[in-house]
A and B are shown apart, each in its own frame.
Chain A
Amino acid sequence: MGKVIVVTSGKGGVGKTTSSAALGAALAQRGEKVAVVDFDVGLRNLDLVMGAERRVVYDLVNVIQGEAKLPQALIRDKRLETLFLLPASQTRDKDALTPEGVERVMGELKRYFDWIICDSPAGIERGATLAMRHADMAVVVTNPEVSSVRDSDRIIGLLDAKTLKAERGERMEKHLLLTRYDANRAERGDMLKVDDVLEILSIPLIGIIPESMDVLRASNIGAPVTLADARSTPALAYFDAARRLSGEVLPITIPGEKRGIFGKIFGRKAA
């Protein structure tokens, strides 16, 4: 049975879609079968970031409403044969997602894939709660600024309350992915410190992705950054994050700082 990961944040524009594609491609490059699912019905983006926009025939809503079978809607990546995309509908709205439909699709995906990565829409409404509903673990994408941190905190509360795992009394595994980290702004003190974000959110960190032109270049050519430029700093950070997701323990470095913060982070008691 595959593992379901929700990539979520509360706030928009923090890097959920970028991260869903990058992590999906990173996991798929290790030969694991990955499906990346776009839950942002009405504002789909993942197809663009993965360079599949011209190959969308059917989408998640079609599968949910029984207008297409799952294999008809899944798009195989041109470069990686173990990477698939289940696009969102651009013409419908989030009400087209039904809890029963999402449950059926998730159950089916879990049979075929090792990893199912759900790219959540922003907000805390239906789309976001359905994206997290079936997750086994969550990647909480946060930028080092106050409003993003507070929204992430709110989302963590929902992960512990509104998911199937939570309702069964189990613990949702939550991981913090700090994105768009700008070493220059950090130096000037214009951003929250990594330590402060960790203290507020108190969930384990799986990576710090630097703010980088490489991410924009990758999305312009329609490829996840871990495929477009696998040696770039954001790609390397995403590769490490993917390894941590599958349980490896690796030291984490703050971009722009030489010193690892391994000891500090693992010395902290995570909730």
Chain B
Amino acid sequence: MTKVLTDARSIRIKGRSFLAVVLSPDLPFDDWLVRLDDLAARSAGFFLGRPVVLDVADLPIDRTQLKELLGEFAQRNVSIMGIEGARPSILAQGMPPALKGGKPVSDEAVAKEPIIELRNSQSKPVAAEVRPASQSIIIREPVRSGQSVIFPEGDVTVIGSVASGAEIIAGGSVHIYGTLRGRAMAGSVGNASARIFCRKLEAELLAIDGVYKMAEDMPPGLRGQPVQLWLEGDTIMAETLI
């Protein structure tokens, strides 16, 4: 059957921003991959269905090494949607496309693209751009498993619990008036002064300004307690609230 194209409508092109996880590996890759596997093992499904950007800026690697690294990701079912900070000479056909800074100049709307950086305490401090996080939203009901609250503009307050398998991603601080069982990421667009507060800590993952911590990394005394977390240098600090 032949189809006659009589439709004269033009193609619509839209800009849309997506929240991407940025992975910034450091050398030697073997060690870094061990830490990545550790994170993935303890936070099952973390990379599943999530756009991941690979940041290789300042890494003294060649094309072969990049290819190998991409292979490692493929083996782990982590699909890289783009590579940031790569010298053109190390990119090759069949690799994910090069991305620039997450802020394409052509599109105003995309310029605000929120990016989560997943670093760990050993990595070099990235000069994060600090934006004033003055806005806030209040969620008046429990955040259920499978739901994400993403608010790069500022603080997120939840009056209720955050379920296992749910996540809160805030540009500013995260306040949970309930039990935090899922993931909370504060300062997700680069804000080292953001904090996480919760009435009862049972979290699967906590991150502030890209520095992450699993619940198991926390002193057991904090479990089930009202807790606040903040960043000192590249270390997440925690204390119980009275």
Contact = CB atoms under 8 A, between A and B. Distances in A.
Interface of A: 124, 150-151, 153-154, 156-158, 160, 199-200, 202, 271
B215 to A, nearest CB: 15
B171 interface: no
B147 interface: yes
B141 A153 contact: no
Contact of B165 (A150, A158, A160, A202): A150
Contacts of A154: 144-146, 165
Contacts of A200: 161, 163, 179, 181
B160 A153 contact: no
Nearest to B178: A202
B142 interface: yes
B164 interface: yes
A150 B145 contact: yes
Contacts of B146: 124, 154, 157-158
B162 to A, nearest CB: 11
B127 to A, nearest CB: 38
Interface in B153-205: 160-161, 163-166, 179, 181
B157 to A, nearest CB: 16
B144 A156 contact: yes
Contacts of B147: 157
11 contacts: A150-B145, A150-B165, A151-B145, A153-B144, A153-B165, A154-B144, A154-B165, A157-B147, A158-B146, A160-B141, A200-B163
Contacts of B181: 200
A229 B73 CA distance: 58
Nearest to B181: A200
Contacts, number: 36
Interface of B: 141-142, 144-147, 160-161, 163-166, 179, 181
Contact of B142 (A124, A158, A202): A202
A77 B166 CA distance: 43
Contacts of A157: 144-147, 166
B160 A271 contact: yes
Contacts of B163: 150, 153, 200
A271 B163 CA distance: 14
Contacts of B144: 153-154, 156-157, 160
Nearest to A152: B145
A143 to B, nearest CB: 16
A129 to B, nearest CB: 13
B161 to A, nearest CB: 7
B179 A153 contact: no
A150 B202 CA distance: 14
A43 B142 CA distance: 33
Contacts of A150: 145, 163-165
Contacts of A202: 142, 160-161
B146 to A, nearest CB: 4
A154 to B, nearest CB: 4
Given A160-B144, A202-B160, 6 more contacts: A153-B145, A154-B145, A154-B146, A157-B145, A202-B142, A271-B141
A157 to B, nearest CB: 3
A154 B181 CA distance: 14
A160 B139 CA distance: 13
A199 B163 CA distance: 11
A199 B179 contact: yes
B184 to A, nearest CB: 17
Nearest to A124: B146
A245 B166 CA distance: 29
Contacts of A156: 144
**Max chain A C-beta neighbours (<10 A), residue from B144, B146, B163:** B144
Nearest to A161: B147
B179 to A, nearest CB: 7
A124 B145 CA distance: 12
A199 B142 CA distance: 11
A200 B143 CA distance: 11
A149 to B, nearest CB: 9
A265 to B, nearest CB: 17
Nearest to B165: A150
A152 to B, nearest CB: 9
Contacts of B160: 202, 271
Contacts of A199: 161, 179
A123 to B, nearest CB: 13
A199 B179 CA distance: 9
B165 A271 contact: no
Interface centre among A151, A160, A202, by most chain B C-beta atoms within 10 angstroms, is: A202
A153 B146 CA distance: 9
A57 to B, nearest CB: 37
